[in-house]
A and B are shown apart, each in its own frame.
Chain A
Amino acid sequence: MDDIAILGAGMHPWGKWGRNFTEYGVKAARDALSDAEVGWDEIQFVSGANSVRCGYPGYVSGSTFANALGFTGCQLASSYAACASGATALSIARAQILAGVCDVALVVGAETTPKGFFAPNAGERHEDPDWLRFHLVGAANPTYFALYARRRMALYGDTPEDFAAVKVKNSRHGVFNPNARYTKEYDADDIANSPMVADPLRLLEICATSDGGAALVVSSLEWAASRGATDPVRVSGISTVGPTYPNSVIELPYLASDSWAAAGDETMTFKDNIAARAYEEASVSPGDLDFAEVYDLSSAYELDWYEHIGLCERGGAAALLRAGDTALGGRIPVNPSGGLGAFGEAVPAQAIAQVCELVWQLRGEAGHRQVEGARVGLSINHGMFGHGSSVICTR
């Protein structure tokens, strides 16, 4: 797969601002354009990541953001893939660029979130797994995160203290991130003293819902070179794969896992597949990574990702954590941005924000959270119902 260039990155700080999501997207877009030294009137394609919590303008985010920046007649797309929306929007921009449909594009996503648990859409839908899991089981998102955490404890001997140590680590990283919502450094006692939400996970270990916006300016390598960017950060791989049957892990929002009765035991789970495709496209392997941004929807969930992206064998994640390998200064820092633990989740912006961190790290512009000498970074997450999302950037 050919690379494209990332010329600019921009974010609106995460928080609970309660303002129109368009504002966050516009701020992020203007910062990305300024960072890229590209004029808005030069953008040939806008790829918006949709919000489903901000009314109709959220469903047509490409148009909404283009309108707010000033309609120039450029081409637009709007896409939704839950938490994977940002990677999907980036993948569409890459396809347009590599197909020669456009040279330079803006990718943008933003959201204003309500307080508390994410809830399904209103109405009564007996065939919608997202409706059924709330109605029949009371299974909110943290229910699933906690099932995975408990499973780790049973299979691998991970402890609640390990999970808390993930949050402590990420909070130390987030202190140095001006775009993070939470910049307090937590210790193990803070976490142990926070209320239990879904045993074994406590409130400080579960990702909050946040407002925020993030944007990227991307182009062909030729166009980048024509603007003097001869050594830009490159997008070398994007994975937007869905699951491969049978996935034996029970995924949000389903009531049951796939059955492996006919297909045999699982060899790869969905989350393994997401990373595998990104590595394949980018022609890199886990050993080439200098750092990773992974979707720590809960503290324990970050440990699952270490294994899915191949930093260690299954069951080996807690040992990496305990050795300090995944902290800043360690062998392979994970979530140098502070991750979701420091940001909370602004769904359509989050995958784009992960890539913003890849850009700043690979440029050496990440300040006190800089991973020294970073040349290869991976971001990964997944959207509910089965949208994979992973981006590998290189320089």
Chain B
Amino acid sequence: MAAVEGLFTLDADEPRLIGGRARSRGSYFFPKALAGSDPACLGDEIDEVLLSRTGRLWSFTTGEYAPPAPYVIPGDEFEPYVVAAVELAAESLVVLGQVVSGVSAKELWVGMEMVLVIDVLYSDDDHDYLVWKWAPAGQSENGEG
């Protein structure tokens, strides 16, 4: 199940982020709930849209220390992770996400193509809690659908 509902689809083959688009103005928002930051959208209808699945790496970093709650450490021990900011060309915005595990920061460079996948954020006895992550394009099989 999605760790938080309404932010992304769970389509196994073509997962997408769910954003908002101002119908007349054409601005995009992610998440959709943040629509309104463009003053030219006042009174505009905000449609739910699926954002592009691929984009260019805007920047990236690592999390070498466990962040505080509400981050949930998956598994028994904290493992460092990689975070990517990816620029979506059509929507002209930059979206954060973790990078799929198994990809090191040393394999990344600003400008490379990244693709959205669905992966496990953490699990409990009943469920896997899923989230979007970024993977280098061509390695999307690393993500679990």
A: which residues have CB within 8 A of B?
A: 116-117, 119-120, 124, 126-127, 129, 131-140, 143, 146-151, 153-155, 195-201, 245-246, 248, 250, 254-263
Q: How far is the CA of A131 from the CA of B88 in the complex (A)?
A: 23
With A150-B60, A198-B61 as known contacts, state yes or no: A250 contacts B70, CB within 8 Å: no
- Against A, the Cβ 8 Å flags (1 = close, 0 = not) of B58-91 are 1111111101111110000000010101000011
Q: How far is the CA of A131 from the CA of B71 in the complex (A)?
A: 9
* Minimum distance in angstroms from B26 CB to a CB of chain A: 4
Query: What are 17 of the A-B contact pairs (CB < 8 Å)?
Result: A127-B31, A132-B31, A135-B4, A136-B97, A139-B67, A147-B83, A147-B85, A150-B110, A154-B111, A155-B110, A196-B64, A197-B64, A245-B37, A256-B31, A259-B27, A261-B26, A263-B27
- Measured between beta carbons, the chain A residues less than 8 angstroms from B25 are 262
Contact A246 B34 (CB under 8 A): no
With A148-B59, A151-B59 as known contacts, state yes or no: A261 contacts B96, CB within 8 Å: no
Q: How far is the CA of A148 from the CA of B59 in the complex (A)?
A: 7
Q: How far is the CA of A196 from the CA of B62 in the complex (A)?
A: 9
With A245-B37, A261-B28 as known contacts, state yes or no: A138 contacts B98, CB within 8 Å: yes
* Minimum distance in angstroms from A369 CB to a CB of chain B: 32
> Which one, A120, A138, A199, A262, contacts B22 given CB within 8 A?
A262
Contact B4 A248 (CB under 8 A): no
Contact A137 B38 (CB under 8 A): no
Q: Knowing that A143-B83, A147-B60, A199-B105 touch, tell me 8 more A-B residue pairs with CB under 8 angstroms.
A: A117-B67, A117-B68, A134-B70, A138-B81, A138-B98, A151-B110, A200-B61, A248-B93
Q: How far is the CA of A164 from the CA of B34 in the complex (A)?
A: 36
> Which one, A140, A147, A255, contacts B59 given CB within 8 A?
A147
Contact B4 A195 (CB under 8 A): no
Find residues 108-122 in chain B having any chain A CB closer than 8 Å to their own CB: 109-111, 121
- Measured between beta carbons, the chain B residues less than 8 angstroms from A135 are 3-4, 70-72
- Against A, the Cβ 8 Å flags (1 = close, 0 = not) of B26-41 are 1111110110011110
Q: How far is the CA of A161 from the CA of B121 in the complex (A)?
A: 34
